[in-house]
């Protein structure tokens, strides 16, 4: 099969000044895309800001013979996001790909976490995904083409001690994706999620060096490139790390219909073994077989 190429396409990558975002931006450029390199340039907890990191990646892309421009907007700032999109449209006249990668960490156990830290992380990850997507949405629909890759995490999918804020945001992103994938499909806008495990400044203090060496960001990027390509599926959650790739899915058990007359909490308790039985469980798709089965159960059919 032919190589995946992005000749003539325009991509925005948020949080592209380092780590995963930098690798995504560089690889898109190597494959022919024109790239807006967005990075606020703040510290890991989101404080501060500088356009230096984004400019360095732009210089790397230009050294490869590619085209790129830098943007230092915060993904939570409406005016800044609008400027980022305007720069792309003014420069190249279209936007084909959005990789929503920007993020921060403020880890603490829930008992010790202050609400401002919870809200800040939720805002950067969730609203910092929603706002760029909203800004490119009508452009992509009008083109009848778009590829959006959002960034989730195992902390959201499965939980992780000390990351209630981060986990809530990352699973919220999946819920967002699950709806807009339906709304964008008729206009050729595909939306997928990457769930990466990589050695970045967010993870460098969490694992020993020999493990981090096997978790280079460039081992995740091939999955992102595929999800941004013409052949991409829609609605997939692709886990990636150390060269391994897998799909994460939400499953629903076969369950049991208990009826409506005299329904009680005790019946739910006594049926728990059947409710939780994994035999025959299938991925849940709203509007699909499982969704229809749910509504048939509700109707008593």
Active site amino acids = 166
Contacts of 172 (CB under 8 A, 6+ apart): 122, 125, 126, 156
Tokens at 124, concatenated: 């950067």
Minimal CA–CA distance to 173: which of 220, 133, 233, 146?
Answer: 133
Give the number of other Cβ atoms within 10 Å of residue 35's Cβ: 30
E strand or H helix at 223, and its extent?
Answer: helix 221-227
Q: Helix %, strand %, coil % for the chain, to 5?
A: 45, 15, 40
Maximum CA extent, the chain: 72
Torsion, Cα of 290, 292, 296, 301 (10° steps): -90
The C-alpha atoms of residue 123 and residue 103 are separated, in whole angstroms, by 10
Residue 260, classed as helix, strand or coil, is coil
Calpha distance 217→242 (Å, rounded): 9
φ/ψ of 265, rounded to 5, equals -60, -30
User: What's the rounded Cα separation, in Å, for the pair 241 and 214?
Assistant: 8
Q: Give 126's DSSP letter.
A: I
Entry field: residues in the chain = 301
């Amino acid at each position: 099969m032919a190589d995946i190429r992005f000749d003539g396409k325009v991509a925005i990558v948020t949080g592209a000044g380092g780590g995963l975002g930098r690798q995504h931006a560089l690889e898109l450029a190597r494959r022919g895309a024109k790239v807006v390199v967005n990075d606020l340039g703040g510290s890991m907890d989101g404080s501060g800001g500088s356009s230096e990191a984004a400019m360095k990646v732009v210089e790397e892309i230009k050294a490869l013979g590619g085209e790129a421009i830098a943007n230092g907007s915060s993904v939570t700032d409406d005016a800044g996001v609008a400027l980022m999109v305007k720069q792309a449209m003014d420069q190249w006249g279209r936007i084909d790909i959005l990789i929503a990668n920007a993020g921060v960490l403020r880890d603490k156990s829930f008992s010790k976490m202050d609400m401002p830290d919870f809200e800040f992380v939720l805002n950067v990850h969730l609203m910092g995904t929603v706002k760029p997507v909203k800004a490119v949405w009508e452009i992509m629909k009008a083109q009848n083409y778009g590829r959006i890759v959002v960034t989730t995490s195992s902390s959201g999918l499965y939980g992780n001690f000390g990351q209630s804020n981060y986990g809530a945001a990352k699973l919220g992103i999946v819920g967002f994706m699950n709806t807009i994938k339906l709304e964008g499909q008729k206009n050729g806008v595909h939306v997928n999620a990457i769930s990466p495990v990589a050695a970045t400044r967010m993870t460098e203090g969490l694992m020993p060096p020999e493990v981090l060496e096997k978790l280079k960001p460039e081992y995740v990027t091939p999955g992102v490139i595929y999800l941004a390509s013409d052949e991409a599926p829609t609605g997939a959650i692709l886990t990636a790390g150390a060269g391994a790739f897998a799909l994460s899915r939400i499953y629903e058990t076969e369950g049991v219909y208990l009826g409506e007359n005299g329904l009680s909490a005790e019946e739910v308790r006594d049926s728990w073994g059947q409710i939780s039985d994994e035999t025959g469980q299938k991925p849940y798709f709203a509007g699909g077989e499982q969704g229809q089965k749910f509504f048939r159960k509700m109707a008593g059919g």
